[in-house]
Amino acid sequence: MQKKIANLRRDYQSRTLDITELSSDPFLQFKNWFDEALEIANETKGFEANAMTLCTATPDGQPSARIVLLKGFDENGFIFYSNYKSKKGQEIETNPNVALVFHWHDLERQIRIEGQAGRVEASLSDKYYNSRPRKSRLGAWASPQSQTIDNREILENNMQQLQADYGEEKPIPRPPHWGGYRVAPSMIEFWQGRSSRLHDRIVYQKDNEAWRIQRLAP
């Protein structure tokens, strides 16, 4: 079994990446790649272009990683939503340094982002929360994310109670412990798989307010 895993490999040949063809603005470059990923996601069942790994760490450096969904981005950063009391939320509270990773398998691409996370404005969290399906809004109240629970019935009972309380019409307020984070990047790396493991890696590093662009060895 182990032998078969060790033999799994793919040669990446579909695309190339060079500094001369990149935007000098990393957010524009991200947008170009993200748009391409979205196009493929539209055609590929099960591919979520906006799924990204979020890595947080405790103040003494114990990292933890999980997938979250990108819900927006601009020149100020990359936004996702979660429970502020969750493990990730508590880690961000005490250590805002985080990393994000996108892997777009069909494009043979990876994007790595490093930066600092902070809560988005309450008005933005409200706007996004209110755009979610009603049951997702109730779910944010029903689940004490990251806490141990004795059984699944606890969640189901919470949900039933909330559905009874709010019915079909009553406005559901955003839980104060639920909202968005924005990751303000200091580094963004674009990785394009190439043949024979000689991949292309171009990194944008924030230097005061300017972005320095360099090629890295694969």
Ligand X SMILES: Cc1cc2nc3c(=O)[nH]c(=O)nc-3n(C[C@H](O)[C@H](O)[C@H](O)COP(=O)(O)O)c2cc1C
Question: Which residues are catalytic, by number?
Answer: 197
- Tell me if 216 contacts ligand X by CB under 6 A: no
- What residues from 30 to 49 belong to the interface with ligand X (CB under 6 A)? 48
Contact in structure between 198 and 17 (CB atoms under 8 Å): no
The residue to which tokens 């895993």 are assigned: 5
What does the chain come to in residues?
218
Which of 110, 146, 163, 186 contacts ligand X by CB under 6 A? 146
Q: Where in 95-134 is the site for ligand X (CB under 6 A)?
A: none
Q: How many residues line the site for ligand X (CB under 6 A)?
A: 16
Continuous H helices in the chain: 2-6, 26-43, 87-94, 122-131, 134-142, 153-166
Chain-centre distance of CA 43, in angstroms?
A: 21
Q: Which stretch binds ligand X (CB under 6 A): 66-74, 94-102, 153-161, 189-197?
A: 66-74
Distances (CA, A) of 177 to 1, 85, 114, 140, 153: 45, 6, 25, 9, 22
Residue 56: CB minimum distance to ligand X, A: 7
53 binds ligand X (CB under 6 A): no
Binding site for ligand X (CB under 6 A): 48, 51, 64, 66-69, 80-83, 86-88, 145-146
